[in-house]
Structure 1
Amino acid sequence: MKKDLNAKLTRGAQRTLDAFFGAMTDLLQDKSFADISVNELCERAGYPRATFYNYFEDRDDLLGYCWTVLSARANLTDLASSEPAHRVDTALDAMADLLESNEGLLRTVLEHNPPEGPLFSSLHMFIEGRAREIMGACVDRDRFGLPADLIADHYANTLMLVLDWAYLRGHALTREQLHAYAHALLGGLE
């Protein structure tokens, strides 16, 4: 992304980002990501192509921004300060809350975008990256005798596997079941 999201954005920049976010989420409810063009995004957002390219490299870059916006709604900031025994559940709950709070949008988007397609590949990569970053920051490095990055990857992949199974593949699970599945799959490291 061409804009630094950590810097303070002007109202105009935020309005532009919001318009492109809205355009992408609106269009995803009507068609597949593969069928959405930059021209359609610009038309829906009400901005010229030049403005789009001032903010984003391409459609994939905008999609990454959309994931960032949605993930900001999940409260994952306190994970490193939580008790080690509860970190997996805390991370899983925060990501599940994010998916559940956007359930209507997710259901509509799933109608036009298969779980094996580019949209969900992008979502998987984003969630795994975010989970890896979060778990990497709070892994007890001395506990396992393994590299922290390897443990973080294992946790992130396992959390994504459980979330994918429950939310993207349509297997209704309770929170207790989500936790039980994650803990069972992480059995050797828990």
Structure 2
Amino acid sequence: MAIININFPRFRFLDGLSILLNGFESAAKALREDVESVKTEATNYQEFIEHGGEWIGEQDEEGNLLWDQATVLDMHIEAREEALMDLRKAFVMALYHHWERAIQTATGGKPGNHKGLVKLANEKGISLHPRLASILALANTLKHNSDKYGTALCQSWSDVFGAHFRPRPEGKTDWYAAIRLTDAHILEVSDIVAASGP
């Protein structure tokens, strides 16, 4: 009889990670399709107007624009793109907390103590990705929106900010809004977390 040696904590950790990524991809796909649908609607409306179609909107008595369909559609696109960005940010926090819970379970460590969990993981022979601290900085910046974590994130992973991002004077930077994640960032976070589990 063959003995099968399965690392159940590792299996559960990677399975949970896979479930999170599948959930992200399903939700992101739906939002991307919604964005494309509204963009198509906006293009069709623009072509309709260019070919003599009736403008949709409202002006006041003096001819000032109150609203028009093109602006409304642009606002719908922007709202959906921001929802997609917020989804990415939520999943980064979920991925980090998935790692944190798995390491707590594997080591008996306490929540909210990253350094302690890293120490316990090392003592248990769990290898950690060298960039795991960047994931902590990203998750904490998103969660706490503070200069402390935002500054650490700027130093460890500056490309999660827009190309022209510059922190404002102390206490005035909206770090959460400044973070601009792509789907590639989500995959990178996932790879780093996967390489750091039990």
Report if TM-score (shorter chain) is over 0.5. no
Greater helix fraction, Structure 1 or Structure 2: 1
Q: Considering only CA atoms, is the larger Rg found in Structure 1 or Structure 2?
A: 2
TM-score, normalised relative to structure 2: 0.29
Higher relative contact order (CA 8 A, sep 6+): 2
TM-score between the two structures when normalised by the length of structure 1: 0.30
